[in-house]
Every structure is written in structure tokens, then in C-alpha cells.
Structure 1
Amino acid sequence: MTVLDPPELAELGSAMTTPQAVIEAQRCLYCYAAPCQQACPTHIEIPSFIRRISNHDDRGAAQTILDANVLGASCARVCPVEELCEGACVLNDTEDPIQIGRLQRYATDTFSATGRPIIEAGPDTGRRVLIVGSGPAGLSAAAELRRDGHQVVIWESRQRAGGLSTYGILPIREPLQIAQHEVDEVARSGVEILTGHPLRSRAELIGASAEFDAVLLATGLGATTPLGLDNEDLALDGLDYIATAKLDPDSLPRFARVAVIGAGNTAIDAATIAQRFGSQTVIVYRRGEQQAPCYPAERQFALAEGITFSYLSQPVGVVADQGVVTGVRCLRTALGPADLSGRASFSTVPGSDFVIGCDAVIKANGQGRPQDSMGDLEMDTSRGFIAVDADYATSIPGVWAAGDAVRSTGQASTVMAVQDGKLAARCINRALMGVTGRKGA
């Protein structure tokens, strides 16, 4: 069933018309060794696809994008382009950068409207690969493996495929329809997607590794990290709150005042939803503005929405009256030298208790390590993620891992997960095609 976003959560920004796209594309200098392409984690040939738009070859433009990034429509919307491709555009020195994200959205949306498949499966190799998880890493890997001709099955624990693109990204950035179209296209290529099908145990993982020629774990991260707050059970989970807004907005609870704990992009998304549904919203963060993990453009967006920030504020408890939330109790903090994360450390100031009045507290402080139901996988103890080698192989033979579950490249983001899935699939393909016959045959 199609879910229509309410007006408060309608997608930001209008789509480019063809004349607008052509005019913008013609501003591009089509640089050799283009900095924008080098800044793109999936290395889309950006000058090439933009030149194709300028020449009215929309299909060729889209194919250039999708060959490198099968989730190009999602990434056109959710990538931090100010930090990546557009931030690297040489025109930043003299004028506005090329609107690469909007041009990518134009090309991919125009192509999708034609009904043509975005993934062409290769000749059947007879090899079978299981992918656990259907988020960006899993879908990207599935598409790459189908292009190589392998049979692919995806196990997804939730009732809808798509991972954070489906459940965890603010609809005004990525409507549910976009995420589900990409899932449908992966399925259309011949990938079998089984929803409501979690990986439950080590025995099941070992059994799968015997049944399939390869297994890729693309499970993402775990649940929101507990904070140890007093009355923490009265706080709402930020990811659940965003998922409700995206999948069942009519049931979204409404509040007069909301405090969101955390200052990452998930916190910005949760706060934006609350603000747009009528709440007076404050983001509470234990460090300062310069240490906030959200992108600067996201912080400016939140301020423009009317969201306020309470920096140097360490939440210690949810204040409640007979089970009804009335505020969040905090301590002031002071910053110190950089810690292991590279950000300033902090300490609480004794006797600095204060309460931020609110009738809802939303935790959006980041997710924990991947679910530990996958057996005796070696973990990267310095980070708490699944340990992999340079070819994305885990400590269990025949099992690979990619995406946020390993975070092998850069910060956690949709585009980084897409690239991880693509690279892991290539490693799996090399391993499968370097042997003869089925495993165990």
C-alpha cells in the first residue's frame, strides 16, 4: 500500500524541469580528473552524466549514475552534497557550485518514469549468495551480484525492505516511495527478498554458509544506545519516531514541547518532525556546537525550522509526574582536551542541575554495535563492529560483511554503505569465480 506523506512531511524542493536541468548542466566545466567525482564515495562519473543532460541524453545520464550507484535516486536526496561533490566543485571559488544533487535527482527520476529496469542481470553462473539485511549496503551488493549473474536471496528481519532508507530517513528528504522503488527494482532483477526473516543464531548462520556459496552480512547497526537516564523507559526512541512518521504518520503522537537528545543527523530529523507537527523543539547535546556530529548544513536547516539547541547540557534523567513526562533534567558540562574520538572531552559541572520543560523526550543519540546474534564473529574491539579484512571477509569462512555493520570506509551514511556493498560484492564475485563447482560438490 502506498503511503502518502502529509503536507508537513512533503519532499523538500521542487524537481528540476528539463529546461532547468539543461541550463544548469551547461554551466559545468566538465573538468578533467574532476574534484567532484573524486569526492563522491561511489565515484559516479559526474562530468559525464552532466554533459549527457546538457546534450538531452537523459537516459545515458541516468545509466552513468546507476552503473556506479544503484541507489542513485536515494543518494541524490540524502547525500551531504555540500560536504562531498558540490563542496569540491571548482566553481565554489567564483560562483555557486553546480547543483549536482538536483541534477542527479532529475536524471534518476526521469529514467524511473520510463519504466525501464535499472539493473540488467548477467548470464547465470549457478552460484547462490545470501545477503542478510536489505538496507543500502545489502541492496547495492545484491544489484552488483545480479549484474555478475549470481542468484541472490535477501533475508530482511523487518516487514519492509530498504533499511534506514525505508525506516530512518526523514520523509522530506527521502519519501518512502523512492526507497521502495529501489527495493522493487532490485527484486525485479531477480533477487528474492524475504521480509520478516531475521538471522536468529550462529547455527542458522553456519547452516546458511553451507547452503549458499557466499553469505554477506549487511545488517547495519543495533538499537539506539541506552543512556542510563532516570526514567529512561519514558523516553521515545528516535528511530522508531521517524519510522512512525514515515510509515504511519496519522498515528504519530503530538506534543507541545519536545526535547531531543543527541545532535547527529537522526536527532535533526526527529526534531524536524516534532517541530513540523506543532511542537516547540529543543536539541540537547552534551558538547558544544563545533563538536556536534550533524553536518553544518543540517544544523542551519534545523535553526531555519525554528528548532533551538541547548549545548553543553548532559541529560541525566526524564522528569515525570505519575508517569507523565514533564521535562528532562540536565547537568551543565565543561569541555576539555580531545578524547579518543578526536572531539573535545567533557565533564559535568557539580551543582549545575537544571530542567528543560517538555512533555516528550526523544533519544536520538546514535546506535550501538551490530546485533550479536550472528555467532562467534570476530569483532573490531576498538570500534565494536564486525571485523573484516581488506576483502570484506569475516572470521567465518564464506561469510563477508559490509555497510554500517563494519563501517570500513568513512562515516556512516547511505552513500558509504552503497559503496561498501558494491565493493564487497566484487570481492565475493572474485572469490566465487576463482573456484570450480558448487561448494561442497
Structure 2
Amino acid sequence: MAEKVFEPGVQAGRLDAQSYADHFSDLHPPLDAHEAVVAADRCYFCHDAPCITACPTDIDIPLFIRQIATGTPDAAAKTILSQNILGGMCARVCPTEQLCEEVCVREVAEGKPVLIGQLQRYATDHLQAEGTHPFTRAAPTGKTVAVVGAGPAGLSCAHRLAMHGHAVVVYDARQKAGGLNEYGIAAYKTPHDFAQAEVDWLLKIGGITIETGKALGEHITLDQLKADHDAVFLGMGLGGVNGLGVEGADKDGVLDAVDFISDLRQADDLKSVPVGRDVVVIGGGMTAIDAAVQSKLLGALNVTLVYRRGRDRMNASVFEQDLAASKGVRIVTRAQPKAVHGNGAVREIEFDYVGEDMAPTGQTLRLAADQVLRAIGQTLEGDDLPALKHRKIRVDARGRTSVDGVWAGGDCASGGDDLTVTAVAEGRDAAMDIHAALVAGNA
């Protein structure tokens, strides 16, 4: 076999077809029926199960695992989906090692938790493969609700409202529904176009219309939505990306990690996605990890992830950090960008090492780079919005904003963690409050 040559610069098609297929296959192959039963038998079915408390959507985990153990996976799926209608995607992308599995009694006692996430996937995949929808829509109420954003929060809200008989119109700026699930999740976590399949399945409840290519503030306004609908839910996520704010940050080859991930997710052929030979990713969250790992999987020779704080402060879980390391990603901590060097295009990026107080120590680091991916946080975009808090839409415990008749949830709203599962919970809970207000005539 000829030795692989890593050409400099940003290029597409660094690998052969089989390598792309192998690298972007399912990160966690699904359990088969026998494996699922064996895994389910490890559950103690705790009465006061800590895993339920740790789940942002409050799924009755011992119940659904018992249902798998007794050979009724579709019943298990309904238990899951009644709390989390996007339970299939969450089973793939949830940081279960930090949530339900971290507090599992088996984990505490033996260091090996019940495979809650994989069991959840087994049950939801089993039901969705049949094409059936386990919920029925109530009689139409005559009320309509506008949902801005077809991501996890918006879809969760829309489904719960539709179940209660309300008509829902979902507006999304993109050309496909799904939001983060469609555009922002690593391709190896959700292969085979799962995100769109889940959206199609969710819409079987009926009563939901999706209008794509409609951005708030550009194609639609909040006043218009309030006039045309009985209530409004804002769940459009965060559209802006923080800049590096250093000299040379505008050079060619300096990109937003979210755009890199989106382009990869939407590519019909992975061979068409360009990647550098020397890639530097700046950030410490899940987006940074996903961008770094996928750069390596696309054929980059050197991939370095640089974060300004210690590993213990990274938003990415230890599992994700270890995954990146296992793929050959180098992780450098306590360093922040100082300057981007190059003649028109990036050739090197310079960092200051910093102390606990984030002040430069006087030591610097220069890394060769022909591609730099920014993953240093996203921001809320738009002027036609309710009152903000910490640069997000201010909401109360029910998801209500400062504007009467307008609710918000997910990443665009103040409050919970920026996780898919949290967004689902916030969309669901806001829908229940919207429903109560509509029934009472208070929306």
C-alpha cells in the first residue's frame, strides 16, 4: 500500500470512499433484541430512581427499561416519547454519562452503568421503524399558535400543542426543519438522515404546518405573528457566532465551526467537504469537539483543540474529550488566541498561555494552521425580540416572556443548559402553559 501523502492547504477528497464510510459510520451501533434484554436485566428498577431526577425531560427510566426486559419495546418507546418526543435523537446525542448514567446505582456501585441511552435508542428506533405514531390528536380547538424555529424546542412545543388540538404553524429560517438536530450534530452521531426521518415521524400527529425560509425580523415580525395567531413560541436558537477579536481573524481559512459542521451534514458526498492539513479548533464545548473530531475523520493530519481554561471547565463531557483524544485530536488548555498570521490566508495562529485569572503568563504558542475553526459560543440575533437577560430572551419558570402571549425556550432563552434534551423539555413545558392559557382565554 502506498504511503499516504498529506498535502498542505484546505482540500476536498483527502480519503478514499471506504475510509469515509468507515469514519462516518454509527458511533454507537444499535443494540439487537438479545443485547437489549441483557442490558435491561442489569437495571435494579429503583423505586426512587436517581436517573429520573437527572433526566431533564423526567422520563420514567426504570419503567421503560422494565418494558424492554418484558419484551414490549413499543410500550417502552411510548413511555419515553410521552416525556420526550425527540427521544430517538436524544438517545444518540445526550451526554448520558453526565446525566442519567452518571447517577445510575450500577455506576455508583460498580463503575458500569446500565446502558440507558442505548436502551432508549433501541426502544424508539423499534417503534419508529414501524412507521406508527403512538399519540392521537385531540379535537381541534380552533386556536392557532405560531412557533418560530423548527429545532428541538420548537418541534417539542409544536407536537405537544398539536396533541391538545391546537393548529400550529412552525416558521424556520433554514430550508429544512430540524434545527440543531439537522444542521449542528456531528455526522457520525446521526448517520442515515435520521434527523429528517424523526421530523417526518413527529409530524404524523397532524395539525402542524412547517414553513421554511422564514426568518424572524426578515420575513416575519413578532407583531405580525401575534396578530395572526392566538399565541407565539420563540425557539429559534442562536444564529450568531462570537468572533475571535484578534488581529488577522478575517484571514481566509478562519471559519465558524457551526458552518463547517453544517456543510458536512448537508453534503451529499463527504468527498466534497474540504478540510485543512493542519486544523486548529478554538473552544471547549460540544461544537468544538464535533468540529475537531470530524476534521480528523475527513483526513486532516494534525488537529489541535485549544481552550482558554482547564479541562475541568470544558463544557464538553469527559467522554467527548476522550473520544477526541482517541481520534488523534491534541487538546491544549489555558491558552487564548493572540493573533492569526499569514499573507491573505491563515498560516499560523498564535496563543497566549494564561493563568487561573485569565491573564497572559508571558509565554506564547504558535501552531501551524491552514484552517481555523471558531467554536467560542453563539449569540442571539434579531431586534424584534422581547426583553433580554444575559443576551438571551428573558423567561420565567413557565417560559413566558416580557410580551403578553409570547413564550420562549431552548438556546435562545435564558435559563437551562444548552442541551438538546433541555430544549425539548422547555418546549414541552411551554406548550403546556400555552395550552392552559388558551383554554382559560388568557393568552
Tell me whether the two structures share a fold, i.e. TM-score over 0.5: yes
Match of 1:299 among 321, 340, 343: 321
TM-score by length of 2: 0.91
| Alignment CA distance shift 1:122-1:305 (3 Å) | same
Match for 2:25: what amino acid? A
Q: CA deviation at 1:176?
A: 6.0
* CA shift for structure 1 position 430: 0.5
Contact 1:201 1:374 in 2 (8 A): no
Whether the 8 Å contact between 1:218 and 1:405 is mirrored in structure 2 is yes
> In the TM superposition, what is the alpha-carbon distance from 1:118 to its structure 2 partner?
4.5
Paired residues of 2:146 and 2:168 also in contact (CA < 8 A): yes
Matches within 5 A, 1:18-29: 18-29=33-44
Asked if 1:225 is matched to 2:225, the reply is no
- 2:305–2:330: 8 Å Cα contact kept in structure 1? yes
2:265 counterpart of 1:246: yes
Aligned to 2:425: 419
Map 1:5-404 to 2 at 5 A.
6-95=21-110, 96-175=112-191, 177-190=193-206, 191-200=208-217, 204-234=221-251, 235-248=254-267, 249-279=270-300, 280-321=302-343, 323-336=344-357, 346-350=358-362, 352-368=363-379, 370-375=380-385, 377-380=386-389, 383-404=390-411
Contact kept, 8 Å, 2:217 with 2:382, in 1: the verdict is: no
Deviating more after overlay: 102-111 vs 327-336: 327-336
Aligned letter for 2:244?
Answer: L
- 2:54 and 2:430 map into 1 onto residues whose CA distance is 20
Q: Are residues 395 and 93 of structure 1, via their aligned partners in 2, closer, same or farther at CA, if it must alter by over 3 Å? A: closer
Q: Quick one: distance in 1 between partners of 2:304 and 2:325?
A: 10
- Structure 1 pair 43/122, CA: closer, same or farther in 2 (3 Å)? same
Quick check: 2:128–2:201 contact (8 Å CA) kept in 1? Answer: no
TM-score w.r.t. structure 1 length? 0.91
Contact 1:127–1:150 (8 Å) recurs in 2? yes
Displacement, 1:435? Answer: 1.5
Hey, what's the Cα distance between the residues in 1 that align with 2:421 and 2:414?
A: 12
Identity of aligned residues (%): 39
Question: 4+ residue stretches of structure 1 with deviation over 4 A?
Answer: none
Structure 1 window deviating more from structure 2 (168-177 vs 50-59): it is: 168-177
CA distance, structure 1, for counterparts of residue 134 and residue 334 of structure 2:
47
CA contact (8 A) 2:347 2:368 kept: yes
Q: CA deviation at 1:36?
A: 0.8
Rounded Cα–Cα distance in structure 1 between residues aligned with 2:364 and 2:69? 59
Quote the Cα distance in structure 1 between the aligned partners of 2:348 and 2:25: 30
Whole-Å separation in 2 of the counterparts to 1:59 and 1:202: 41
Q: Distance in 2 between matches of 1:262 and 1:63?
A: 37
Query: What's the CA shift for 1:42?
Result: 0.3
CA distance in 1, matches of 2:397, 2:128: 35
Q: Secondary structure at the match of 1:179?
A: helix
1:339 paired residue number = none
Contact 1:142 1:186 in 2 (8 A): no
Q: Does the Cα contact within 8 Å between 2:248 and 2:341 map onto a contact in 1?
A: yes
Give the direction of change, closer, same or farther, for the CA distance of 1:203–1:31 in structure 2 (3 Å limit): closer
CA distance, structure 2, for counterparts of residue 209 and residue 186 of structure 1: 25
Letter in 1 for 2:372: V
CA distance in 1: counterparts of 2:415 and 2:32, whole angstroms: 38
Q: Could you tell me how far apart the structure 2 residues matched to 1:120 and 1:283 are?
A: 47
Residue of structure 2 in register with 1:341 after alignment = none
Letter in 1 for 2:53: Q
1:378-431 CA deviation, whole Å, 9 max, x = no partner? 111xx211011232111111111111111422x110000000000000110010
Number of paired residues?
418
Q: For 1:86, what is the secondary structure of its paired residue?
A: coil
Inter-partner Cα distance in structure 2 for 1:125 and 1:88: 42
Task: Assess if the C-alpha contact under 8 Å between 2:395 and 2:414 holds in 1.
Answer: no
Instruction: Describe the superposition over 1:162-195 as per-residue Cα deviations: whole angstroms up to 9, x where unpaired.
Output: 1111111101122362211221123322210111
- Structure 2 vs 1, CA of residues 119 and 155 (structure 1 numbering), >3 Å: closer, same or farther? farther
Instruction: Measure, in 2, the Cα distance between the counterparts of 1:398 and 1:177.
Output: 35
The answer (yes or no) to whether the contact 1:49–1:64 under 8 Å persists in 2 is yes
Distance 1:187 1:93 in 2: 39
Determine the C-alpha separation between the residues in 1 that align with 2:74 and 2:198. Answer: 17
SS in 1 for 2:250: helix
How far apart, CA to CA, are the structure 2 residues paired with 1:184 and 1:74? Answer: 13
Task: Indicate conservation of the 8 Å contact 1:318/1:361, yes or no.
Answer: no
Question: Matches of 2:143 and 2:98 in 1, distance apart?
Answer: 39
Secondary structure of residue in 2 paired with 1:101: helix
The 1-side partners of 2:298 and 2:349 are apart by 20
Letter of the 1:314 partner, please give it. Q
CA-atom RMSD, angstroms?
1.8
Q: What secondary structure is seen at the aligned counterpart in 2 of 1:28? A: coil
Instruction: Tell me, in whole angstroms, the C-alpha distance in 2 between the residues paired with 1:240 and 1:421.
Output: 25
